[in-house]
Every structure is written in structure tokens, then in C-alpha cells.
Amino acid sequence: MNDGSSTFTKVYQFYITLDYIEPAIWRRVQVPANYTFWDLHVAIQDAMGWDDCHLHQFEIKNPVTGFKEHIGIPNDGFDLMAQPLAGWEADLQEYFVDANLAGQYEYDFGDGWVHKVVLEKIVEVQSDKKYPICLDGERACPPEDCGGFPGYERIVEIIKNPHDEEFDETIAWLGDEYDPEVFASDIHFTDPKKRLEELFEED
């Protein structure tokens, strides 16, 4: 497990895209190369704009065995055969190697938000930057608990039409500031160690 105390000289640059939505909702982030999958999970949540109130898992090929593995939060309620590896015990450097540049990140198994996670390149640390960092992105994250891709499409349709019978109710739920076309670039990245401590406190 990466305790966050070790220094790093390399940075992973990921391009993260939310599946099934056009125009694409995407983010380009840079994270320390010594991050774990849990750390990357927190960075994706912050960069995308999710609230981290549902389960998640990564699906990625193990470069040693060649088999796909699931990495996330182990849960005693799951079938033992389906238990994911603990994200805080799996290092990015063990999976994102030259021949293994892409994986999948799923958030909220009910709504089923699937993200493609592509390692674009590995770069040197820049002393004037604090990592993780979001370099760029487009469009706002879908609202939590909106019913997945079909529900999101319906919301976008409703808020474009003030005459829709569900317009007032939807705006009241979303708030006046929600605009699916606007990418909020002022992203605050939270401490993954503190987020992990909060997770165990909930248990």
C-alpha cells in the first residue's frame, strides 16, 4: 500500500472518458506514479465531479497473468468469487505498463457509469506543480442518482425545454446552476488517505 510518504519522480497522465455519452464528458489528469488504485479512484471522483457515495471498481488486465482483475472495495456481502482486490493494496505501476495502457472504471453499479481510463504518457515531475492535477476537460458530470445514461439523456432534454411538463421539478432538483455543457475547471482534489480513513470509520 502506498502511504503517500514516499517521493515520486514520475507522473502518470490519464485520459478519462465517460462511456455512451456524446458529446463526450472527459478529463485529462496527472497523478503521482506511486499512486494506488484507491488514490486514482479519489482523483477520478474529484476531477469528474462525482460525490463518491456509491461503490466502484476498476477492471484491468494483469500484465503478468494476462487475466482481467477487478480492483475496488472488498465487501463481505459479495460472493467470494466476485471479491475485488482492495484498491489501496494495488499499485498503478503494477498494472499500467507499456503493454497495458487502458482500463475501465465503473462507478455506481445501479446507474452503471463506465469510464475508459487510458494512460496517455508518463512524464517527469514538474517542481512548480502540485499533484494530482486536472489539465483539461469538457462538459459537466451527470447528476448523481439520475438513472444512468437514459436518465441523463432525459434530463438534458428537459432542461433545454422550459415548456416540458417536468421542467420545473427537474430544475428544482438540479438547481439553477447545473449546465451539462460547462466544465468547472476549479477542481479541488481531496486527500485519498483521509477519504480511506472515513471509509473505515463508516464500517
pLDDT tens track for 87-101: 999 999 999 987 678
Residue 77 has pLDDT above 80, yes or no: no
Q: How far apart are the first and last CA of the chain?
A: 20
Grid coordinates of 201: 470509520
pTM above 0.95? no
* Closest CA relative to residue 72, chosen from 103, 46, 102, 105: 105
Whether residue 78 contacts residue 67, with contact meaning beta carbons closer than 8 Å, is answered with no
Q: What are the residue boundaries of the structural domains of the chain, listed by start?
A: 12-142+181-202, 144-179
> Which of residues 176 and 168 earns the better pLDDT score?
168
User: What is the torsional sign of CA 178, 51, 193, 14?
Assistant: negative
pLDDT at 172: 95
CATH superfamily of 12-142+181-202: MM3350-like (3.10.290.30)
- H-helix segments, the chain: 37-48, 148-159, 167-174, 192-202
pLDDT at 42: 98
